[in-house]
Amino acid sequence: MKYPILTPEAVRKSVARLPRVDLAHLPTPFEEVPRFAEKLGGVRVFIKRDDCTGLLFGGNKTRHNEFLLADALRQGADVIVWGAGVQSNNCRQTAAACAKLGLECHLYLTRANHDADVQGNLLLDYLAGAKVEIVDLPMGPEMNALLKAKAEELRAAGRRPYYWEPTSGRPIAAVGYVLCLAEIADDIREHGLHPSAIYISSAGGTGAGMALGQVILGLSCPVRSICPIRWPWKVREDLAEVANQTAALMNLPHRLAAEDVHTTEEYIGAGYGAVTPEGWEAMDLLARTEGIMLDPVYTAKAMAALIDDVRRHRIKAGETVIFVHTGGTPAVFAYRDELMERHAHR
Ligand SMILES: Cc1ncc(COP(=O)(O)O)c(C=O)c1O
């Protein structure tokens, strides 16, 4: 089915009636990285700097939180209940947003993928005033059940907690990444580019918003979501479902099928959070050529995919690619030992 193509301005208009709080520095910068690109040989690379969204070291979740926390305020919440891994960028940005909005923030952080050394994101959670409890649970359904139970406990004690189930929260969060793609469409036009692909680290709301944005804005280049984690479900189907709920929230007729979503699990390596040689190479190269830091868990693996596509000639000399830097950089401090080990052998 043919859907209407919207201009970036029309996309912004369709979002204007949704509750939103102002948290991020937008639009984020869009910059060419020629010294990095030269090392890859003959391609042009531009980076959308969503690591510069501003709030407490930035990142993609601040775009999500503009809509999620507006929903919380609309519901009259006085405390946010949230959680993930101890080095969660999401939780760090949520703690910061709560501080800015005067909301209490209760975080439940699991040691499932990293030790609980008070460094990087975890350190920032404490410093931003979140109430932190360390737990030992796998991420996914068990963690979600714990958060829900904690929210119910607070409600029973007379508080007004906000906790979002993945099913209800991700479509709201994804609106922020439809808007990010509208910014990128403006960047593309201003720079007169014809990109071959856009790369982003995601297996969730971020990628769903980008995939929906591509269809709404009628961009011809694919958005490649490079998964940082292997979920026990079909990610393309799941992201298409999230994208469709987002379109419904935006009152738009556009609907996606799984084939409209481009994902790969090829660059995860040993697992979520494990540093890969290719990810390390990407971090090392971008830092040394451009002074831009990637994180080992998300963006390094997405950049490894971009580099691999150039080396395998899926992206050819003379072509242009866009990389969305979704942040995560405070994690480098928590990954000091792994990173310095690789640094010593570079
Ligand atoms: C730095 C970074 N990039 C990408 C992502 C992926 O976002 P999503 O959960 O929407 O797939 C995250 C999620 O925590 C992140 O912290």
> Tens digits of per-residue pLDDT, 310-328?
999 999 999 999 999 999 9
Residue 89 CA to ligand 1 center (angstroms) comes to 8
Where residue 2 falls among pLDDT bands split at 50, 70, 90?
Answer: confident
Number of structural domains found in the chain: 2
**What pLDDT does 28 receive?**
98
- Is residue 334 located within the same domain as residue 186? yes
Is 28's C-beta closer than 6 angstroms to any atom of ligand 1? no
Among protein residues, the one with the nearest Cα to ligand 1's atom 7 is 202
Nearest 10 degrees: CA dihedral of 307, 308, 312, 313? -30
Percent of the chain with pLDDT over 70: 100
In a domain, 3, yes or no: no
**What pLDDT does 202 receive?**
98
Amino acid identity of 216? I
Q: pLDDT by residue (tens digit) across 69-116?
A: 999 999 999 999 999 999 999 999 999 999 999 999 999 999 998 999
> Regarding predicted confidence, which is higher, 11 or 141?
11
- Is residue 198 located within the same domain as residue 288? yes
**What pLDDT does 140 receive?**
85
Where would I find the H helices in the chain? 8-15, 34-40, 61-74, 89-101, 120-127, 141-156, 166-191, 205-217, 235-249, 277-290, 299-311, 331-334, 336-344
Nearest atom of ligand 1 to the alpha carbon of 173 = 10
- Is residue 73 located within the same domain as residue 40? no
- Is residue 214 located within the same domain as residue 293? yes
- Encoding tokens for residue 293? 């830091």
Nearest atom of ligand 1 to the alpha carbon of 202 = 11
- Is residue 40 located within the same domain as residue 91? no
Residue 133, phi then psi, degrees to nearest 5? -125, 130
- Among 149, 166, 183, identify where a domain stops: 166
- Is residue 117 located within the same domain as residue 193? no
Among protein residues, the one with the nearest Cα to ligand 1's atom 3 is 326
With residue 298 as reference, give the H or E element that holds it.
none
**What pLDDT does 249 receive?**
97
- Is residue 188 located within the same domain as residue 293? yes
Among protein residues, the one with the nearest Cα to ligand 1's atom 8 is 204
In a domain, 103, yes or no: yes
Mean pLDDT of 23-46: 97
- Encoding tokens for residue 208? 């769903």
Domain CATH for 120: 3.40.50.1100
Domain range for 84: 61-166
pLDDT of 263 > 70? The answer is yes
**What pLDDT does 346 receive?**
84
In a domain, 283, yes or no: yes
- Is residue 173 located within the same domain as residue 302? yes
- Is residue 235 located within the same domain as residue 254? yes
Is 294's C-beta closer than 6 angstroms to any atom of ligand 1? no
- Among 166, 192, 220, identify where a domain stops: 166
- Is residue 173 located within the same domain as residue 267? yes
Going by C-beta distance under 8 Å and a sequence separation of 6 or more, which residues neighbour residue 249? 18, 171, 172, 175
In a domain, 138, yes or no: yes
- Is residue 132 located within the same domain as residue 96? yes
**What pLDDT does 1 receive?**
67
In a domain, 94, yes or no: yes
Residue 229, phi then psi, degrees to nearest 5? -145, 145
Is 60's C-beta closer than 6 angstroms to any atom of ligand 1? yes
In a domain, 2, yes or no: no
In a domain, 206, yes or no: yes
Q: What Å distances lie between residue 72 and 77, 81, 132, 160, CA to CA?
A: 5, 11, 20, 10
- Encoding tokens for residue 75? 């519901």
Is 121's C-beta closer than 6 angstroms to any atom of ligand 1? no
Cα gap 43→34, rounded to integer Å: 9
Any bridge partners for residue 320, and if so which? 44
- Is residue 132 located within the same domain as residue 51? no
Secondary structure (3-state) at 115: coil
- Among 108, 139, 166, identify where a domain stops: 166
**What pLDDT does 99 receive?**
98
Cα gap 344→346, rounded to integer Å: 6
Is 206's C-beta closer than 6 angstroms to any atom of ligand 1? yes
Please check whether residue 293 is in contact with residue 250, taking contact to mean a CB–CB distance below 8 angstroms. no
Q: pLDDT by residue (tens digit) across 175-222?
A: 999 999 999 999 999 999 999 999 999 999 999 999 999 999 999 999
Please check whether residue 41 is in contact with residue 317, taking contact to mean a CB–CB distance below 8 angstroms. yes
Segment among 49-53, 162-166, 191-195, 299-303 with least mean pLDDT: 162-166
Closest CA to 190 of 8, 15, 42, 4: 8
